[in-house]
Amino acid sequence: MKIRNYWNLRDWGAGIWERANRPKRVAIALTSIFLVGLLPFAGASFLATPIAAYDAVLVYPVGVFVLMALGLNIVVGKSGMLDLGYVAFFAIGAYTMALMGTHTGLNTWEIMPFGIAFAMLAGVLLGLPTLRLRGDYLAIVTLGFGEIVRLVVLNSTWSKGPNGIANIPMPPNIGPLKFKLEDQKVFFWVVVTMILLTIWMIRRLSVRRPGRAWEAIRQDEDAAELMGVPTLKYKIWSFTLGAAVGGAAGVLYASKNLFIAPEMFTLNVSILILSCVVFGGIGNIWGVVVGATILGYLPDRIRFISDARLLVFGTVLVVVMNFRPDGLLPRKKREKAIVKKEVNA
């Protein structure tokens, strides 16, 4: 078989990283983080979004999408389970923040652990019975779970039903950094910090036992089970960690938006986040980041064609998937699953 070896961005980037020594790596990382941190100041350039405020767009959708896509990538990309109900964990985080923020005196940072814990609990509760299912069946059950969470919130009195919950408190100021509605730079920096923490967690886990277990499960679950990998345990772990990231994103989103309603947590969000993961390059952290950034940013950037923007969005999905089925920045070839033809017995 002929191996074509043309230039690609991922290998080029990975090459620079691999050749660099420790101080160089630290320098690269710090420069990149610094440049990303400066992004909210670039509002006057070609990046500006018409209609929506540029720094607000950077927080939601872009920042929150990247965070959630990274979380979903643990489930879909790392361990190969199709989750179509990811928005449920986002909703659980957001409602935890909304309810605790309005009923108790706790602030955002104190509620964050609760939001994460509740999302993880929901992940375990959903995961225990359903993670024995595979493929499309898992997809439909998770999808059902997402819809159930939304409908329960919509039809219950404690959540104020379709009216949603208003007056959610803003996060308290961190030293000189003030959270303001009209200027959301600080929110953006908080999201970036959370994204960096998530990336750090995923990278640490990927090279250790859980990461190897997920990789084995993704490539061939039966073989992994036979080799002694406790597959159910690691699948639940992956599901729960993904849920934790989703919950954290939810807490931050509620605290930033000050108002949440059930209509913000529809299946469309789950699908959009999944699109971010697959569009960017499933399984590859940087691909996911790029994909979520583009898909979060694009609809707001092309708002001038306001009415047709979702049409363009759908068309872009079809075209990109057709020409780059592994996403914009795919994972390395050797990490790809062994494609096995299904033979029906």
**Which residues bind to another protein, rule: CB under 8 A?**
76, 80-82, 129-130, 133-141, 143-145, 147-148, 151-152, 154-155, 220-221, 267, 271, 274-275, 278-279, 282, 307-308, 310-311, 313-318, 321-322, 325-327, 337, 339-344
AA identity, residue 131: L
Tell me if 251 sits within 8 A of 298, measured CB to CB.
no
The nearest distance, CB 34 to another protein, in angstroms, is: 33
The nearest distance, CB 145 to another protein, in angstroms, is: 8
Three-class secondary structure of residue 238 per DSSP: helix
The nearest distance, CB 321 to another protein, in angstroms, is: 4
For 177, the token pair is 């950094």
Which CB atom, from 37 or from 144, has the smaller least distance to another protein? 144
Contacts 24+ apart (CB under 8 A), 319-325: 320/279, 321/278, 321/279
CA distance 276 to 290: 8
What are the DSSP E strand ranges found in the chain? none
Nearest to 76 by CA among 343, 334, 287: 287
Would you say how long the chain is, in residues? 345
Which CB atom, from 129 or from 228, has the smaller least distance to another protein? 129
Residues ≥6 apart with Cβ < 8 Å to 123? 89, 236, 239, 240, 242, 243, 244
Which CB atom, from 43 or from 144, has the smaller least distance to another protein? 144
Tell me if 79 sits within 8 A of 217, measured CB to CB.
yes
The nearest distance, CB 275 to another protein, in angstroms, is: 5
CA distance 76 to 243: 12
State the DSSP code for 260: B
The nearest distance, CB 225 to another protein, in angstroms, is: 12
Which CB atom, from 156 or from 173, has the smaller least distance to another protein? 156
Which CB atom, from 138 or from 192, has the smaller least distance to another protein? 138
For 248, the token pair is 């954290």
Which CB atom, from 38 or from 308, has the smaller least distance to another protein? 308
Neighbouring-strand partners of residue 165? 260
Neighbouring-strand partners of residue 174? 177
Percent of residues in the chain assigned helix, strand, coil, to nearest 5: 70, 0, 25
The nearest distance, CB 279 to another protein, in angstroms, is: 7
Which CB atom, from 194 or from 276, has the smaller least distance to another protein? 276
Which CB atom, from 39 or from 84, has the smaller least distance to another protein? 84
Which CB atom, from 64 or from 131, has the smaller least distance to another protein? 131
Q: What are phi and psi of 186, to 5 degrees?
A: -65, -40
Nearest to 194 by CA among 110, 276, 117, 251: 251
